[in-house]
Homo-oligomer: A and B are copies of this chain.
Amino acid sequence: MVPLTDTPLTRDGKILILAYDHGLEHGPSDFEAVPETMDPETVWDIATHDAVTSFAVQKGIAETYYPSYRDDVNLLGKVNGTSNLWMGEYDSAVNWTVESAADLGADAIGFTLYGGSNNEVEMAEEFRDVQEAARDHDLPVVMWSYPRGQGVKNDTKDEVIAYGSRLALELGADVAKIKYPGSQEGMEWAVDAAGPVKVVMSGGSKTDDRSFLESVNAVLDAGGSGLAVGRNVWQRENAMEMLDALEALIFEEASVDDALAHLG
């Protein structure tokens, strides 16, 4: 097992994952705000920014474009995911084998676990296979750890979110991607619960610049290792400037005000 900090997934121990699996998870309507983002090339270009430690996409987006971006982008193969066309208890199809992702040259593997779903047992067993295959290929594993489902009354409670980050530690992930709980205190709990597993905040829907950067800062203050972000970057006209700001904030220890200065 290669130490995580020796892999492309981190930079000085910090992490900025750019995520672009929205076409699968939400469908093309997620691209309506900035139509050119429906074209994966637009977002691959954004992913070449030095601030991005890895780019999380599904198999098809990876196979089609990664060969052209191999030198400039670290690939995080998101191996499960599902559309929001169907209804029913939370679940996620395993769309990509680790073997295939490794053959393509992926630098890390991503997997969603819905703890608390009636499908938790099956998903945890799928995670086992993915995690062990990733170990065989020396690939770090990021768990999108989102407790939700019939058994989870309130998925924004501090305790539930901290349980999610703990699951990442217990089950063998290297990084936990979690929702931001309501408070700094909640985030600290979640970071502590994960032990040495690095915790990154899931970016969520687009908000205004300052709010967004302040939430990232709060995550860092709480001991978090960074951010996994999608729409809050590529739904902005000034995506590259936002990445400049995030780079300052996350990797260069700038203040929120200094980071904001990167935005026009």
* Interface presence of A135 (CB below 8 A): yes
For residue A108, which residues in chain B have a CB less than 8 angstroms away from its CB?
none
Counting chain B CB atoms within 10 Å of each CB, the highest count among A147, A160, A171 belongs to A171
Interface size on A, residues (CB 8 A): 70
- Assuming the contacts A83-B115, A92-B121, A163-B27, asked whether A60 and B169 have C-beta atoms less than 8 A apart, the reply is yes
* Interface presence of A197 (CB below 8 A): yes
For residue A195, which residues in chain B have a CB less than 8 angstroms away from its CB?
38-41, 61, 64
- Assuming the contacts A135-B100, A166-B24, asked whether A38 and B88 have C-beta atoms less than 8 A apart, the reply is no
Per-residue 0/1 for A143-162: is the Cβ within 8 Å of any B Cβ (1 yes, 0 no)?
A: 00001011110000001101
A66 CB to closest chain B CB (Å) equals: 11
Give the complex CA separation of A3 and B154 in angstroms. Answer: 48
- Number of identical protomers: 5
A188 CB to closest chain B CB (Å) equals: 11
For residue A152, which residues in chain B have a CB less than 8 angstroms away from its CB?
85-86
* Interface presence of A255 (CB below 8 A): no
Q: Which chain B residue shows the least CB distance to A27? A: B163
Of the stretches A124-132, A220-228, A238-246, the one at the interface is A124-132
* Interface presence of A263 (CB below 8 A): no
* Interface presence of A170 (CB below 8 A): yes
* Interface presence of A95 (CB below 8 A): yes
* Interface presence of A28 (CB below 8 A): yes
Instruction: Select one of B29, B97, B124 contacting A82, CB under 8 A.
Output: B124
Contact B151 A97 (CB under 8 A): no
Instruction: Select one of B81, B93, B171 contacting A95, CB under 8 A.
Output: B171
List residues 34-77 of chain A with CB under 8 A from any CB of chain B.
38-41, 58-61, 63-64
9 contacts between A and B (CB under 8 A): A28-B166, A60-B169, A83-B116, A85-B149, A85-B160, A86-B149, A87-B151, A88-B118, A95-B171
